Amino acid sequence: MDTINGIVNSILSLANSHPETAKYITTGLRWVFVLLAVWILLMCIISLLSTRATPEVWGYLHVEGGEGIPITHWENIIGRSSSVDLRIKDKTVSKSQALLIRQSDEKWMIKDLGSTNGTVVNDWKLVPGRRYMIEPGDKITLGGVRTTLASISLEETRNNEELRLMDKEPLSPWSAMLGITAFQILAVVQLILGMGTKVTVTALLSILLLGVVMWVYILTGKAMGRKGFEIELIAFFMSTISLAITASSEPERTFTQFVSVVIGLLMFFVICLFLRDLDRTERIRPIMAVASVLLLAFNLVCGQIKYGAANWVYIGNFGFQPSELVKIVFVLVGAATLEELFQKKNLMQYVLFSFYCLGCLAVMGDFGTALIFFVTFLVVSFLRSGDLSRLILTGVGAGIMGLMILRFMPYIANRFSIWGHVWDDPADKGYQQVRTMCYSAGGGLLGQGAGNGYLKTVGASNTDLVFGMVTEEWGLIIALLLIVCIITLCLFAVNSIVAGRSTFYTIGACGASTFFLFQTMLNVFGAVDLFPLTGVTFPFVSAGGTSMMASWAILAFFKAADMRKDASIAIKRSKVKVSLQDYAEETDEDAEEM
């Protein structure tokens, strides 16, 4: 601590004795920050969106008199329809005949989906809707078509490993980590120049400690044989901006924000490990749903009004938002395996849980969060059912309900009355948005420099209006890059649909991306009066411990959908190790023996 104090005093002494030099340093740093941000994020974004997981073949379904159909997913629908995973063009086969699932312990399971002509395994007719364990070599009759489940050969296993070794390697993390570390150190220097004695040593130390946590996490991951850390590096960069914004506006809260990042990172890691076993996840999911129901009920009883919504619960001096934690469970409950998609009971449970959450949020008056939950519900429901007409009907019904709420609860309508008219009342109802737009314009492309802004004097500047504060102090370029980060994660989730081993991972990632994208839209557009100001946070950037922890925890669903070799913590590392050189040598030996 004495060392940090000494460095702070030295920089302050330089700034006081040579004020012109300090201005030149700030001007130079503004350019350096933008260049570093562009360099770091472009490396991560390009790598994340350009690398593709090689399709994995887990076995074959050999059709009698035909070719073997490769099984490239853990969960597969067998049928006649063009949309199924394993298609058999025969009229005796139903459009969706049966489910064929490879479990995490490498065992196989089959379930008839109520097909017209039934499914028979080794002369045993399956009861529709019931699970049956099968093994490679078993004879499966689908309608009038005979097939055989076959495992892949050792040579094919080697070929798969060879193809994986030929994949484009994910970004090596070292250059991006060095860039983020340099960004953090220079941010500390700029905060000292911009704020002087107003910034606390603890706030500055928190930013540097975040860099230490990042290095420890990446080094631990590398020691475990992992690679592909672009998702985490993007989150670490955004969290750095969050700590810098908090240090500028509320220095005394910066360490608390840092602790929230650490707790969120631990939650991220634990959830990734937990998602390795989908059977275990399915067992614990009802418990988590019940816990969320009780937590929201507790919020209804004990919640305190803050910023117009009773969505805060205080235990002593500790306050948190239960709705932020429920977001994690909402994504978990919405995700489903392919088998669960054919269970009406499972879908009904998700619908009931969703409407309970929406009802609680409406009673609390937290309509911004309720809107995010509802949009996520629509997206996940469509992914689960594929029924667009039902989706439209639900949306129309929700719109009518919203109009009724505005009709009978006029105090809610008053919140939106200023939308699009903030310049008509800049001193009262439009005060926040008008100040946000004015100060943001003053930031320009490069910003005024961390600690030099004025928007921080306006209420909720580091939460609801954080986009404006980032634009003022860090510049429009960095502010837009933060939005690009969220969009990148969403595009990655969409790409995961093709290569995903399980629908659970892909639906989970798409649900998480909906949360992030729509929440970011409400925050950014609300601050500049394109949307009503709803009071929602910017993921990873806004100040707020519960929001930061929830953002990191939800990030685990993106990581679980990462199918690149050894990239996802949620996927156990491959036990088969075959190098290209070893494979070539073995091939040569086989040729010599012949």
The answer to whether 364 and 310 are in contact (CB under 8 A) is yes
pLDDT of residue 482: 98
The reported pLDDT for the residue numbered 500 is: 67
Query: What pLDDT, on a 0 to 100 scale, did the predictor assign at position 3?
Result: 72
Unique residue bearing structure tokens 């300090």: 22
Other CB atoms within a 10 A radius of the CB of residue 122 amount to 11
Write out the chain's pLDDT in tens, 594 residues.
667 677 777 777 777 777 788 788 889 999 999 999 999 999 999 999 886 666 678 889 999 887 889 888 888 999 998 878 899 999 999 999 999 998 877 789 999 999 999 999 998 999 998 989 999 999 999 999 999 999 877 766 666 666 555 556 788 999 999 999 999 999 999 999 989 889 899 999 999 999 999 999 999 999 988 888 999 999 999 999 999 999 999 999 999 999 999 999 999 999 999 888 888 888 899 999 999 999 999 999 998 887 767 888 988 888 889 999 999 999 999 988 777 777 777 788 888 999 999 989 988 888 889 889 988 988 888 887 666 666 676 666 666 666 655 555 555 666 677 888 899 888 888 899 999 999 999 999 999 999 999 999 998 899 999 999 999 999 999 999 999 999 999 999 988 876 666 788 889 999 999 999 999 999 999 999 999 888 899 999 999 999 999 999 999 999 988 877 777 776 665 544 434 344 344 434 443 433
Rounded distance between C-alpha atoms, residue 549 and residue 263, angstroms: 6
CATH code for the structural domain at 59-165? 2.60.200.20
Please state, in angstroms and rounded to a whole number, the distance separating the CA atoms of residues 247 and 191: 8
Instruction: Specify the pLDDT at position 525.
Output: 95
Enumerate the domain spans of the chain. 59-165, 167-561
Tell me how far apart the alpha carbons of residues 329 and 336 are, in angstroms, rounded to a whole number: 13
Residue 150 near residue 138, CB atoms below 8 Å: no
Give the model's pLDDT for residue 57.
Answer: 81
Please tell me the predicted confidence (pLDDT) of residue 588: 43
DSSP for 74-128 reads SEEEEESSTTSSEE---TTS-TT-EEEEE-TTS-EEEEE-S-SS-EEETTEEPPT
